[in-house]
Structure 1
């Protein structure tokens, strides 16, 4: 469905396609960079409320990893002669608003938010990266939450639920709210910044809308699977 940079399409110049693609990549890296920076801030703040020093150290380590991911994206934007602050700025209001709407009430909800939002973000960016050049794919792959962090969050959530089964209904409800907000956020950002359109010629826009619908359905399915792994209903 994509038109690789440098190839031509009917009634669209090569230069226009390349410029459209480059803007798309800068926008994509900008939203990822601000997402990683926000994750660093969120995890650093949440670590203060950890019930044990072990939990505090674990979240602190995850926060450091998020900032390292931010640096990876910043470096790639610098290679493209783009300032990371300029690339992030258009996405700051919507991402900040998302985090304001999904502010956790306690430690348990903080862990669930990290588990749900990081996983959905990773699914979203991996799906889009299939249509991108190799260097951009490598950057996106490099900033995904690693299996160790995901397993740590899942194990900690399972232990909390085993220790206090009364949490199950509250965290299941919280998880449903998070995935709803996350999918709405993905649609909003995609609409405001024409995500995927940067890869399309005009005749392919209906196909792009179908791709987005399919992607959102897959994100929901993946979320349901992860909730089932916790013993929760999505």
Structure 2
């Protein structure tokens, strides 16, 4: 007796695809919003390590920018008819845990964390944003750390390393730990919240996981280039 062929899967309706995409965007914006809010808190707190008032002002300015980004993303969620707090809650524990594990011990580690983690996080969301609608891409582009602030961080780190070359090995090790933790977090968020699954017509988890893996490889290459600019080994 022959086995009957498996029944063909029902095609996904346009309405279901639209709902899946909308959920994906809400999850993405919720993660970004909480990341920006926690970034504001982290930078405000880390500023206390600053050796000079000018250095404190640098982190203070970055903290203000992070809070502005948070408000921008929340406004977009409100416009979509979503409660920003509900969108952020699923990400709170993961992001808070990451910052607890990577608490800087001093000003040097604080500055390196701002440089490494912000870049990795923004690159992750920017890579995903390439697959999104224009309005959502625009929001994500606007919450990126400005080129001027990134260059200022690099300048401060270069100065710090030049003044005390002994910091090189410690900060290189710290940078490797940070990028490892950041990539693990990105992978966990991508898997737990099914990032990218909502963007394909088939919505297959395997394909989405493969795409996330490709993005993580891109993030690693970007981190290596940034460490090279500082004269450090990634």
Shared topology, TM-score over 0.5?
yes
- The equivalences for 1:135-146 within 5 A come to 135-146=135-146
Rounded Cα–Cα distance in structure 2 between residues aligned with 1:126 and 1:192: 19
Secondary structure of 1:73's partner?
Answer: helix
Match of 1:61 in 2: 61
Match of 1:185 in 2: 185
Rounded Cα–Cα distance in structure 1 between residues aligned with 2:203 and 2:183: 26
Rounded Cα–Cα distance in structure 1 between residues aligned with 2:97 and 2:186: 13
The CA RMSD measured in Å over matched residues stands at 1.3
Match of 1:107 in 2: 107
Match of 1:6 in 2: none
- The equivalences for 1:147-226 within 5 A come to 147-202=147-202, 204-226=204-226
Match of 1:4 in 2: none
Secondary structure of 1:183's partner?
Answer: helix
Task: Measure how far apart 1:211 and its partner are.
Answer: 1.6
Match of 1:47 in 2: 47
Rounded Cα–Cα distance in structure 1 between residues aligned with 2:145 and 2:64: 12
Match of 1:80 in 2: 80
Secondary structure of 1:45's partner?
Answer: helix
**Contact 2:195 2:208 (8 Å CA) reproduced:** no
Rounded Cα–Cα distance in structure 2 between residues aligned with 1:140 and 1:120: 14
| Shift in alpha-carbon separation, 1:86–1:204, aligned structure 2, 3 A | closer
Once the two structures are superposed, residues 106-165 of structure 1 have per-residue CA deviations (whole angstroms, 9 ceiling, x without a partner) of 110000000000000111111100100000000000100110111111110110000000
Q: Mind listing any 5+ residue stretches in structure 1 that lack a counterpart?
A: 1-9
How many residue pairs align between the two structures? 226
Q: Mind listing any 5+ residue stretches in structure 2 that lack a counterpart?
A: 1-9
**With CA pairs under 8 Å and 6+ residues apart, which has the higher RCO, 1 or 2?**
1
Rounded Cα–Cα distance in structure 2 between residues aligned with 1:15 and 1:201: 12
Rounded Cα–Cα distance in structure 2 between residues aligned with 1:218 and 1:165: 29
After superposing on structure 2, the runs of 4+ consecutive aligned residues of structure 1 that deviate more than 4 Å are none
Rounded Cα–Cα distance in structure 1 between residues aligned with 2:47 and 2:102: 17
